[in-house]
Amino acid sequence: MTSKKTGMDTDAARRRFLGGAAALTTLSLAPGVTLIASAEAKEAHDATSTKMRWGMLIDARKCDSECTLCVDACRDEMGWGTPADRKPRPKTDAQWIRKVHVTDPKTTHTFSLPVMCQHCESPTCVDVCPTGASFKRVDGVVLVDKHICIGCRYCMMACPYKARSFVHEDISNQKPHAPRGKGTVEACTLCVHRVDRGGIPACVERCATAGRKAMLFGDLNDPESEIAKAVAEFATKQIRADLGLNPGIRYQGI
Amino acid sequence: MKKQIAFSEIAGNSNGYWALLLFFGALIGAALGATWHMEHEGHWVTGMSNQIVWGVPHVFAVFLIVAASGALNVASISSVFEVQDYKALAPLSALLSLALLTGGLAVLVLDLGRPDRLIVAMTSYNFKSIFAWNIYLYTGFFGVVGIYTWVMMDPRFVHFKKVAGSFAMMWRLLLTTGTGSIFGFLVARQAYDAAIMAPMFIIMSFAYGLAIYLLVIMAVYNGANRPLGDYVVCRMRNLLKVFVGAVLYFTLVQHLTNLYATEHHGVELFILLEGGPYTVLFWVGHIFLGGLLPLAILFHPMARTRAWTAIAASLIVLGGLCQVYVIIIGGQAYPLVLFPGMEVQSSFYDGEIYRYLNSLPELVLGIGGFALVAAIIMVAIKVLPFLPESLEDRHVDPEHSAKKEAREAGEKAGASA
């Protein structure tokens, strides 16, 4: 009898303990679960789709050689410029997008165009990256996972477009939507933080706002999109198309 | 019948030994300090930039890694091709290859933007990357050559020597193929993107590795006051001639192939004629000092001495560093071709020859790699019996020695008659 009672007491104690533990666990996790639920405005997988291929069409004929609006917009949006508290170091300061001036020495014909990550279908940077930090999203945007980039710079050796920069020093005043890190590699993200919310890249927006409209952004796979219609109608070119990488950035007038 | 070779540890308790170890330790300490400085401040304090992304540390690292593979030549000749004369030299060959790879990898890792993330490189792989494959090849090399060394030195496993040696030889050929392919697979760069890179790196490894082996064995036997006969040195001299000649041949083929294609004329003009320091390093450093001059020394009948062999081997090492410098930094200094046939210009140095001047910390890190190699060898030969007690001719090859003595006796007799 005594032993039976003791057994029941033990069971009750165990139940009480488990009940308490469950309640404590619930109390600990519930706020976190609630926070996560309210922070997720959109499911992560909703933002990207294999059906899409984000791309850009840049009309070099509308691109003034003196104009750097797209570069300024990118710098403002992503925060990669030289900080105000030090002198520029052009050899090591990052440039996610730059204006390139081209002259044909045989004819003296010149044109100017912005060059950034070309978001290739077969990106060499992704091929060579040892850790998989360089990766391509299903919608064609090529990014760097700053958490697993070891700073080997092999992607910079491999990129035909000189589109990537290495962060050579400490960084302050970072933008929350564009985290950067000393010792890692970075490049144009095609403003995925905007695009995933239905927006357009900052460079395209600034160019359009200024009335130049040299840059067109959209889904190359959507036959109804303005960019798909434009690339179907007009002759467009990719830089170093001979490499067969099929960049998502196309140009007119080059 | 050949005498059994006796291996033993060196005493390693002289003041000279400790002073030298301290010296190499100081160099390693300086390299770690240089790394701390570069990592703490960021790479802007180096000569590297967004144009020249791999600098002098990579020159040292690649040179040491390539040499590591070649340093195993002597062991391979002994175990795989069963050349008896090389048997006594084999354990040091394996030790040197392990030490060189350690030194090279240390420099490579310490120059990463995030060396603290080495564990990521070990756990997160992209198998399409030759770099990722190299991580396997390098770490595997330690295992394969480690086992091979054990098998060589432990009489219980001596019957596995040929198998282990053959596997180690294949592994190191793969390793150097992987290292050469780091450059061979860079399709966008004019100076690279060539299948010849992989075999050329293999032959480079043979020359660098053997030259370093010769220098090490001469230095170690001199330092340890152990006898080293001319026969051993001369056998390796002959092999070295072939390797140095082959490096020159591959270099010739590499540039002739490029010169045939008009699209590569620009980069060839740059390296061969108009590249300033790179052109000088190519012709004077690599071709003359690292190729033609050591070949002349090695072939010259009057230079069949140990001192001249050491000079030739030193020149091959110097020329090798120049060759790797021209490949790595010269190859990057020539700008990427965005628009073939066009002139380009931008705020990001498009279309310009990129300038590079290494900083002191980079050089100190690279030299630290060599110091690490030396320190590993010094410690290893003190704690394990890597070295034969004597490499005198009569111990290495009694038959040759007997013939030589008979010949000399005959000459003497002839002279006196």
pLDDT tens, residue by residue, B93-126: 999 999 999 999 999 999 999 999 999 988 999 9
Q: What is the DSSP letter of B2?
A: P
* Predicted local confidence at residue A173, as pLDDT: 83
Domains of chain B, start order = 7-398 (1.20.1630.10)
Residue B113: phi and psi, rounded to 5, are -65, -35
Lowest mean pLDDT among A24-33, B243-252, B276-285, B307-316: A24-33
**Total beta-carbon pairs less than 8 A apart between chain A and chain B:** 171
Please tell me which of the candidates B43, B186, B336 has its beta carbon nearest to residue A168.
B43
Q: What's the confidence (pLDDT) of residue A57?
A: 98
Task: Over range B379-406, report the average pLDDT.
Answer: 82
What is chain B's mean pLDDT, rounded? 93
Tell me what pLDDT residue B86 has.
86
What does the pLDDT read at residue A9?
A: 59
Q: Which residue type does B293 have?
A: L
Q: What local confidence, expressed as pLDDT, does residue A13 receive? A: 60
Q: Which pLDDT score, from 0 to 100, does residue B159 have? A: 87
pLDDT of residue A44: 53
Using pLDDT thresholds of 50, 70 and 90, give the confidence band for residue A24: low
DSSP A237: B
The single-letter DSSP state of residue B6 is P
- CA-nearest residue to B337 within chain A is A160
Q: Which residues 121-140 on chain A approach chain B with CB closer than 8 angstroms?
A: 124, 126-133
Contacts of B347 in chain A (CB under 8 A): 90, 95, 98-99
Closest partner residue to A156 among B42, B53, B339, by Cβ? B53
- CA B263 to CA B268: how far, in whole Å? 10
Cβ–Cβ below 8 Å for A165 and B49: no
CB B351 within 8 A of CB B343: yes
When pLDDT is averaged across residues A143-168 and rounded to a whole number, the result is: 97
Compute the distance between CA of residue A151 and CA of residue B43 in angstroms, rounded to an integer: 11
Angle of helix B306-325 relative to helix B56-71, nearest 10 degrees, comes to: 130
Are B92 and B216 spatial neighbours (Cβ–Cβ below 8 Å)?
A: yes
Whose CA is closest to B101, among B58, B129, B63? B63
Lowest-pLDDT choice from A17-26, A106-115, B174-183, B276-285: A17-26
Q: Which of B125, B185, B344 sits opposite A101 (nearest CB)?
A: B344
Residue of A nearest to B131 (CA): A130
With 0.95 as the threshold, say if the pTM is over it: no
Q: Tell me whether residues A131 and B121 touch, CB distance under 8 A.
A: yes
Interval B329-339 mean pLDDT: 96
pLDDT reading at A220 higher than 70: yes
d(CA B206, CA B42): 36
Question: What's the pLDDT score for residue B81?
Answer: 85
Q: Which of A102, A167, A170 sits opposite B339 (nearest CB)?
A: A102
Determine what percent of chain A is predicted with pLDDT higher than 90.
Answer: 76
| Residue with token string 């061979």 | B184
pLDDT band for B404, please (50, 70, 90 cuts).
low
Query: What ipTM does this complex have?
Result: 0.90
**Res A3: pLDDT:** 43
The Cα–Cα gap between A17 and B414 comes to: 106
Q: Are B37 and A80 in contact (CB under 8 A)?
A: no
Q: Which of A30-39, A106-115, A224-233, B113-122 has the lowest mean pLDDT?
A: A30-39
Whether A2 shows a pLDDT value over 50: the answer reads no
Check residue A20 and give its pLDDT: 62
What pLDDT, on the 0 to 100 scale, is given for residue A33?
45
| Strand, helix or coil for residue B356 | coil
Q: Would you state the pLDDT for residue A36?
A: 44
State pLDDT tens for residues B143-177.
Answer: 999 999 999 999 899 889 899 999 999 999 999 99
DSSP per-residue codes, B81-94: S--GGGGGGHHHHH
- What's the whole-number mean pLDDT along residues B75-79? 90
CB B104 within 8 A of CB B61: yes
* Residue B78 pLDDT grade (very low, low, confident, very high; cuts 50, 70, 90): confident
Q: Which two tokens stand for residue A8?
A: 């029941």
Over residues B348-361, the pLDDT tens digits come to: 999 999 999 999 99
CB contact under 8 A, A131 and B51: no
Cβ atoms of residues B222 and B320 within 8 Å = no
* Cβ atoms B113, B190 nearer than 8 A: no
Between β-strands A249-252 and A54-59, what pairing exists: parallel, antiparallel or unpaired?
parallel
Q: Is A30's pLDDT higher than 60?
A: no
pLDDT in the model for residue A31: 47
Closest CA to A217 of B244, A209, A226: A226
How far, in Å, are A208, B233, B290 from residue B404 at the CA level? 89, 15, 32
> Residues of B with CB below 8 A from A154's CB?
129, 131, 182
Find out whether B63 and A176 touch, Cβ atoms under 8 Å. Answer: no
